[in-house]
Structure 1
Amino acid sequence: MINPVLAEPRTNKTTVAAPLLTLFTVLKPFEGEADTHQRNAIASWQALQPQVEIILFSDSDIPADIHLKFQCHHTRKTNEHGTPLLDDVFRIAASEGRGAARAFVNADIILDHRFVQATKRLIQSEWKSWLAIGQRTEYEMPADVDHANDDWIAECFKKIESDGTGASIVCKDYFVFPADLYQDIPAFAIGRGN
């Protein structure tokens, strides 16, 4: 593992053109189920490149294989319980992101091309300001997903659509908005369940 406090942020510079969307998240420690869920989510986001760029934030160590592929930052601001605060996260995503829109997404949410298509429709809409909020569909992914298989995301969504269940109405798993919004927000603590 690499300690992100000591390591320089990595940027994936394989694409010259600006992406449509900057995805950013605050990671949990890569332990147990969180490791599997986050790796699946990040692999699904990576499959959306070059239309998206990914910025990762963490208050703990990020595994070297993840740190080397993406732009990573250590969250320095926390509340009295050690929970990361989002004002710094949103500020950095606003200043370093290149997408026409930003998406703050929970780190365990698998996305496919429909997420990018919906964002593109919002960007091209007549609305100058907008905010899209959504919740997940619950589905227990197998721990041994083969990310090298190009069809894994489509297969995953087929299973989610047939066997998934809607999350609680209180769950808010992604927030998508134009790049010029939410550059300066209050020091909210990230919502984390037990």
Structure 2
Amino acid sequence: MKVKASVKFIITLTGCIGVLLYLGNAYLQRDDTDLPMQRHYFNYRQRPLNSQQNSLNSKMRPLNSQQGPLNSQQGPQNSQQGPQNSQQRPQNSQQGPLLTLFTTWTTTPERYDVYNNTLRNWPSLQPSINIIVFTNDVIPDKYKLLGWTIRPVKHQVNGHPVLKYMFLEAMEIQPMSKLYGFSNGDLLFTNSLIKTLHAVVNSPMLVNNTLMLVGQRMNTPDVSKEDAGSWKNITEASKRGTLMKNTLGIDYFITTPDYHWKYIPEVQVGQKLYDNWLVFDARRTGSDVIDVTRTLLAVHQDAPYPKHHGKMNHNRDLITENPRLLYNRGVVACSNLRTIKDGQNVRFKRPKLPRHCFG
């Protein structure tokens, strides 16, 4: 009886191993067909560690030495490493801003009030956040006095700015920033942005990870100058808004300095698919994509766009993936981490992703 039981156990175990090997091979084959740019990125990431580190040293900056809300056991000089990661970002004694945040726009009469609200709102985030606008329009000097850095758009296709070059230039303008981000010019923020980012840069579980932060916007009608005048008023105005679905477009992207912007195609903002493709690309290249919607209020000022907005499909020449694939996998709902409120603090949760994120 013991011999028969042993034989039965061995047969069952062998069958289970065979099934697992088959499923693993099928999963790898499916991923290979979906990653046409994988080889280029992975060749870069597989270079010798010293060579790769040297190429990133000018962009990778220290984490904030201040204690964050989740790091009650962390000393003022954090020497902890993230789980299963022995590589640390190089340390530097100088302190830079928490975030360098930039936007871009072409002014039209329909958007005057929107952009003026933004020009008044973003300076309230200083000194934690450095602010830049890339535009070929004339910005009044009074806004420069509020702390705005004004730069011309140097790289554009058919009038649409190329995102990667603005990220790279922002890194040159403020090389000490801990994070870099792009936002559409019609978003208003409160101190919830600062609190969320402090939690991110001070989290031991994220200390060495390459990150992309995204989130849903709050579509809010009739945002007045008074509404945009303070964080309290913005929060109150958002209560009449509607949260955009987490399977639709994305209006802001915040990344760590080591993000591979240099290798991103020349996708243009204000065009279709670039936002979904960026999230899709971040996921397939191993970055942590964090949904910060639950702790970061981003108020979208609903206002009409110009009637003649131009063609919206220029990015299709650069993006080879099927749009349906990007609309399924390149959305906020597919973020592998999310921030949530825990009293006055911010903590992280790993959600169960919907099936469309893999299909």
**TM > 0.5 fold call:** yes
User: Is it true that 1:32 corresponds to 2:109 in the alignment?
Assistant: yes
In structure 1, the partner of 2:156 is 78
Shift of 1:70: 1.6
In structure 2, the partner of 1:136 is 217
User: Is it true that 1:186 corresponds to 2:275 in the alignment?
Assistant: no
Compute the RMSD of aligned alpha carbons. 2.3
1:23-172 paired onto structure 2 within 5 Å: 23-29=101-107, 31-68=108-145, 69-79=147-157, 81-97=158-174, 98-125=176-203, 126-127=205-206, 128-145=209-226, 152-160=230-238, 162-168=239-245, 169-172=247-250
Instruction: State how far apart, in whole Å, the 2-side matches of 1:92 and 1:130 are.
Output: 19
SS in 2 for 1:190: coil
Calculate the TM-score normalised by the size of structure 2.
0.44
Shift of 1:101: 0.7
Counterpart code for 1:106 = N
Specify which structure has the bigger relative contact order, considering alpha-carbon pairs within 8 angstroms and separated by 6 or more residues. Answer: 1
In structure 2, the partner of 1:9 is none
Counterpart code for 1:37 = V
Provide closer, same or farther for how the CA distance between residues 56 and 182 of structure 1 changes in structure 2, counting only shifts above 3 A: farther
Q: Contact 1:59 / 1:84 at 8 angstroms: preserved in 2?
A: no
Q: Contact 1:123 / 1:178 at 8 angstroms: preserved in 2?
A: no
Counterpart code for 2:196 = A
Shift of 1:180: 2.5
Provide closer, same or farther for how the CA distance between residues 140 and 32 of structure 1 changes in structure 2, counting only shifts above 3 A: farther
Shift of 1:112: 0.6
In structure 1, the partner of 2:100 is 22
Instruction: State how far apart, in whole Å, the 1-side matches of 2:268 and 2:252 are.
Output: 15
Deviates more, 1:31-40 or 1:126-135: 31-40
SS in 2 for 1:163: coil
Q: Contact 1:25 / 1:106 at 8 angstroms: preserved in 2?
A: yes
Counterpart code for 1:101 = L
SS in 2 for 1:107: coil
Instruction: State how far apart, in whole Å, the 1-side matches of 2:95 and 2:222 are.
Output: 33
Cα offsets for 1:17-62 (capped at 9, x unmatched): 5211111111231x33422112222322211111111111013333
Provide closer, same or farther for how the CA distance between residues 40 and 159 of structure 1 changes in structure 2, counting only shifts above 3 A: same
SS in 2 for 1:158: helix
Query: What 5-or-longer segments of structure 1 have no aligned partner?
Result: 1-15
Provide closer, same or farther for how the CA distance between residues 74 and 163 of structure 1 changes in structure 2, counting only shifts above 3 A: same
Instruction: State how far apart, in whole Å, the 1-side matches of 2:133 and 2:116 are.
Output: 12
In structure 1, the partner of 2:84 is none
Instruction: State how far apart, in whole Å, the 1-side matches of 2:259 and 2:104 are.
Output: 19
Q: Contact 2:180 / 2:257 at 8 angstroms: preserved in 1?
A: yes
In structure 1, the partner of 2:255 is 177
Provide closer, same or farther for how the CA distance between residues 124 and 24 of structure 1 changes in structure 2, counting only shifts above 3 A: same
Shift of 1:188: 1.1
Shift of 1:135: 2.5
SS in 1 for 2:197: helix
Instruction: State how far apart, in whole Å, the 1-side matches of 2:227 and 2:183 are.
Output: 22
Structure whose CA Rg is larger: 2
Calculate the TM-score normalised by the size of structure 1.
0.78
Cα offsets for 1:118-157 (capped at 9, x unmatched): 111111222221111112111124443276x6xx321221
In structure 2, the partner of 1:8 is none
Q: Contact 2:167 / 2:180 at 8 angstroms: preserved in 1?
A: no
